[in-house]
Structure 1
Amino acid sequence: MKYLPNALIGFSLLAAATPAFPQAVKPQTDFHQWAATPPMGWNSWDCYGPTVTEAEVKANADYMAKYLKTSGWEYVVVDIRWYVGNDTAHGYNEKDPDFSIDKYGRFTPAVNRFPSAANGQGFKPLADYMHRKGLKFGIHIMRGVPVVAVNRKLPILGSTATAADIYSKEGQAGWLHDMYTVVAGKPGAQEYYNSLFKLYAAWGVDFVKVDDLSSPYHAPEVEMIRKAIDLSGRKMVLSTSPGETPIAQAKHVQQHANMWRTVGDFWDSWGQLKEHFAVCERWAPYSMTGAWPDADMLPLGRLGIRAERGNDRMSQFTKDEQYTLMTLWSIFRSPLMFGGDLPSNDAFTLSLITNKEVLAVHHNSKNNKQLFRNGDLIGWTADDPKTGDKYLALFNASDQQLADESEAAWASGLLNRQTPGQSKAVDIDIAGAQKLYLNVRDGGDDTAWDHADWLTPTLSNDTQTLPLTSLTWTKATAGWGKVSTNKSVSGADLMVAGKKYEAGIGTHANSIIEYDLPAGYTRFKALAGLDNAGASQNVGGTVNFLVFTKSPFKPMPPDSARIAVPLKQLGFDGSCTIRNLWTGKNIGAFKGEFAPYIRRHGAGFYRISAAKSKTS
C-alpha cells in the first residue's frame, strides 16, 4: 500500500480511527479565503454521468495540466456515484447497485472503475496524481447517510451510535435513493459527518460538491458539513447543489459554503441559457469573496459520451451562444466548471476558455451587476479595481416570439404535480388542418424538471385511427434532452402519475414538435402529462401544453440589434478608448455613446478606458 506524507507506517485509510490531516488548517482560518476567486475546473458529469473511470479522469487532468493550468483552471472533480461498480448511463442503477462501502458506513471508490483505490487506499492515489501535476482533486457526494449503512446498522467512527440511530426517511431525494437524511442533534449525527470529512482529508480531497443539499435547502446538514470540514484539518472548498438555492437562504449559505447553485442542471439549451440573465441579476448582490453563486457547469465541447442527457455530441450551442455563455459567466463571476471531455476539445473551445482578458474579468473585477435590460437587449458592467477602467458586456437575447396562447387550438393551462392525474386530456377538431404543432412551454418558474409527455396521441376520422407516433415529425425541439418516440426525454419509460404508457412522445419544455398532417383526419386526441421524472424531482416541474394547427411563431426578429450605451452612464464624460476583449483589439475612441451591433443570441465584451490627456 501507499503511505501518507507523514509516513504513518502500516496506516490503512479505511480502518484507521484517526486519519492524518495533510495541509493542516488552524480552526480560526476563514474558509472563504480557500476560494478567494471563483473556482475553475472540470467535472465528469456532462460527459460520463455516474460511470466515469479513473483512466478518463486522468486523461482530463493531463489535458488540464498541459493546456489550462496557466489560465487558472485547477480542479478535477469526480461526480456522482463513484462508489457504485455497476452504474449505468441514462439513468441510475437502483435495481442492483454494487456499492463499495467501509465498515464505518462511508462510501469508497469502486475498485473496478478506480483501480488505484485497491487495498484500502481510497482516492488518495488519484488525488496524489493531481497534486503532482499542480492540480487539485474534488469529489461529488450525496447529502446524508447511506441507506445500506442504516440497514446494516454500521457503526459510526468516534461514536457509540450506529447509522440506524441518526437517520430519517423524511426529506430523502426523490431522484436517487442512496441516502437518508442525517438528523441534526441525534447522538452520532455530527460524528458521522466528522468521520466522512476526516476520511476525505486523508485522501487529499480539495473540493467537495454536496448534492441534494440546497434545493430544497437543508440548513441543519449544511451546518454539520461546515463544521465537519473545519474539523477535518484540510482546506476543502464546499459546493452545494442543486439549485435554485432559496434566495431567502442567501445569507446563510454565504456563511457556510464557497459556492452554491442558482439553477437546476444546466445543459446546452438556449432556453436554459436565456433564463440565466434573470437568475444572475437576482444573485449578483450576494456574490462575495470566497462565496460565489454558481450558475452551474459549462456544457461546452464534447458532451454526452455516457451522460444523463442526450448522446455523444459536440455542444449544441452555436458559437454566438457560447460567447454569450462565457461572457455572462465571467462578468457575473460564476465558478467555471467545464463539462466537456477536455481531450476532445477543438481549437475554438480551447480559445474560448483560455482568453486571458476575459478570464481577467472573471478573476479580478468588482461591482459586477446588470446595467440595464430593455426587453431582450441586456447590459452588464463591472470595474477593474486596479486601473479604474470599466468592463461592459452587451447581449442580444432576442428570439422568434411564440404566438399568444389564445391562438392555440387547445391549451392545458398550468399543469404540475398537484394537478389531478398530473395530466389533461386532449380532444380537438383538426378538420381541414395541414399542420399540427405540439408545444410545451414552461410554467413561469424556469424550465427545471419540465419533463413532458404526449401520451397515446392519435389522429382519427369517422372510419379510422392513426397513431401519431407512426408518423415522422418535420421538426422537433426540446429545451433539455432530445424528443423521443415511446420513451421519455431522458430515455426512460413514459410514466405519468405512476402509470406506464407504451406509446407516446417524450419531450421537455420549451418544446415544439411539428407534423405534416395526412389528409382526411378530423380529430386529434392525446393525454398531456407531466412525466414522473419531473413530478418527483425537488419542487417538480410546471408546464403548459398547447396544440396549434398553424405556425406558433411570430415573425423572426432581425439578425442583429444596435445596443446604445451612454458613456456618461459608465462615468465617462470625455473621450474613451474601447477594446474588444474577445478579439484582443482596440476598436477606437468614442465620446458620448457606444452603440455596437450585437448578433442575435450573441454577446460583446469590452474594456473601456478614459482617454489619456495630451501633455506638452
Structure 2
Amino acid sequence: MILDPKRWPSSIDGKGFNEVARKVHGIGLKFGIHVMRGVSTQAVDANSPILDITTGVVYMESGRQWRAKDIGLTDRKCAWMPHGFMSVDTKLGAGKAFLRSLCHQNAEWGVDFVKHYCIFGDDLNVNEVAIVSKVLKELDRPILYSLSPEPITTPAMAKDVSYLVNMYRITRDDWDSWGDVAAHFNVSRDFFAANMIGTEGLKGNSWPDLDMLPLGWLTDPDTLTSKWIGLVLVFVKKWRFGIARGTRGI
C-alpha cells in the first residue's frame, strides 16, 4: 500500500504512516487505521506484483511470478465500495502472501489498531479474517483487530469470528439522532443473551462494538446522551467518541 503524498505529506520516501504514528504515540495515544477488505481495484487493473515478505521480492510459486489479477475475485466486490475493492482468493499462496504483506506493513508503520471493513455482516469472509488474525498473532508488536459489518450482524454470525478478533461492530453507522441510538437496545439485549460479551479473542478478549458514541445534535442532549452512555456501561463496550466540529463544546 502506498499513501497519497498530497494527503499525507509525511509519507514521502516510503515512510508511510510512520511519522503520523510517532506523533500520535508522542501524546500518549494509540494509532489506528480503517482499511477495506481484500485488494484494491486499482492494483488489479494495474496487475501489481505481490510482495513476498520472506524474500523481499515478487511472490513466486509453480515457477512463475504472481500478481494482483491472479488473486482478485472480481465477482466478490466490497458492497460498501464496489468500485474500489474486492476479495482475494485466500486458497492461493499468493492471496495469503498479499494479506501477510499488508499486516507486516501496518506493523512497520506503528499501527496499533486495524478496523477491517466489508468483511463482516452480509460481506462475511471468515477465511480472510482467519488469515489476517493468524498473521497479527505472529507479529512481535500487538495490533488490535476490529471488524465492521455491512450492514448488520447477528450473534450466530459473530460466533464464527469472535475468537479471531478483538472487536466486531454489530450495528450500522451511528449518527447523532435518537433513531440510531434507540435501535441499539434490542441488539445489545440479543448479544448479551448470547453470552458474547468479553469472550476469548485474538491475544485476549473479544467484544461486540456498538459503534462510536455519537455525542452531538441529539433532540434532547442531556437526557438522551445519559441514556446512551448508560446502555454502553451496561453493555461493557469499549469506548470510542465521535466528535465533529459542531460538537467541540462537548
Q: Shorter chain as normaliser: what TM range?
A: 0.7 to 0.9
The DSSP-based 3-state class of the residue aligned with 1:118 is: helix
CA deviations 1:475-509 (Å, max 9, x no partner) are xxxxxxxxxxxxxxxxxxxxxxxxxxxxxxxxxxx
Q: Which residue of 2 aligns with 1:112?
A: 6
Unaligned runs of 5+ in 2: 53-58, 61-65, 200-204
Q: Which residue of 1 aligns with 2:240?
A: 337
Q: Which residue of 2 aligns with 1:322?
A: 225
Q: Which residue of 2 aligns with 1:264?
A: 172
The DSSP-based 3-state class of the residue aligned with 2:146 is: strand
Equivalent of residue 152 in structure 2, options 233, 244, 253: 244
Equivalent of residue 213 in structure 1, options 111, 114, 119: 119
Measured after TM superposition, the shift of residue 315 of structure 1 is: 4.8
Higher Cα Rg: structure 1 or 2? 1
Alignment of 1:433-444 (within 5 A): none
Alignment of 1:487-502 (within 5 A): none
Alignment partner of 1:296 is 2:211: yes
Alignment partner of 1:189 is 2:104: no
Q: Which structure carries more strand by proportion?
A: 1
Answer yes or no: is the 8 Å Cα contact 2:121–2:157 preserved in 1: no
Name the TM-score, length of structure 1 as normaliser.
0.36
Measured after TM superposition, the shift of residue 130 of structure 1 is: 1.2
Q: Which residue of 2 aligns with 1:286?
A: 196
Q: Which residue of 1 aligns with 2:75?
A: 170
Answer yes or no: is the 8 Å Cα contact 1:194–1:231 preserved in 2: no
Answer yes or no: is the 8 Å Cα contact 1:145–1:181 preserved in 2: yes
Distance in 2, Cα, partners of 1:122 & 1:327: 39
| Matched residue count | 229
The DSSP-based 3-state class of the residue aligned with 1:321 is: helix
Measured after TM superposition, the shift of residue 316 of structure 1 is: 4.9
Distance in 2, Cα, partners of 1:278 & 1:343: 29
Answer yes or no: is the 8 Å Cα contact 2:177–2:218 preserved in 1: no
Unaligned runs of 5+ in 1: 1-105, 302-313, 350-616
Measured after TM superposition, the shift of residue 224 of structure 1 is: 1.5
Measured after TM superposition, the shift of residue 342 of structure 1 is: 7.6
Distance in 2, Cα, partners of 1:231 & 1:189: 18
Distance in 1, Cα, partners of 2:75 & 2:154: 19
Q: Which residue of 2 aligns with 1:496?
A: none
CA deviations 1:419-443 (Å, max 9, x no partner) are xxxxxxxxxxxxxxxxxxxxxxxxx
Instruction: State the one-letter code of the partner of 1:294.
Output: D
Measured after TM superposition, the shift of residue 140 of structure 1 is: 0.3
Alignment of 1:391-540 (within 5 A): none
Equivalent of residue 28 in structure 2, options 134, 153, 165: 134
Answer yes or no: is the 8 Å Cα contact 2:155–2:196 preserved in 1: no
Alignment of 1:61-72 (within 5 A): none
Equivalent of residue 226 in structure 1, options 125, 128, 133: 133
Per mean C-alpha deviation after superposition, the further-off stretch among 242-251 and 211-220 is 242-251
Instruction: State the one-letter code of the partner of 1:250.
Output: A
Distance 1:121 1:182, change over 3 A: same
The DSSP-based 3-state class of the residue aligned with 2:14 is: coil
Q: Which structure carries more helix by proportion?
A: 2
Amino-acid identity (%): 34
Answer yes or no: is the 8 Å Cα contact 2:215–2:247 preserved in 1: no
What is the aligned-residue RMSD (CA, Å)?
A: 1.8
Distance 1:168 1:276, change over 3 A: same
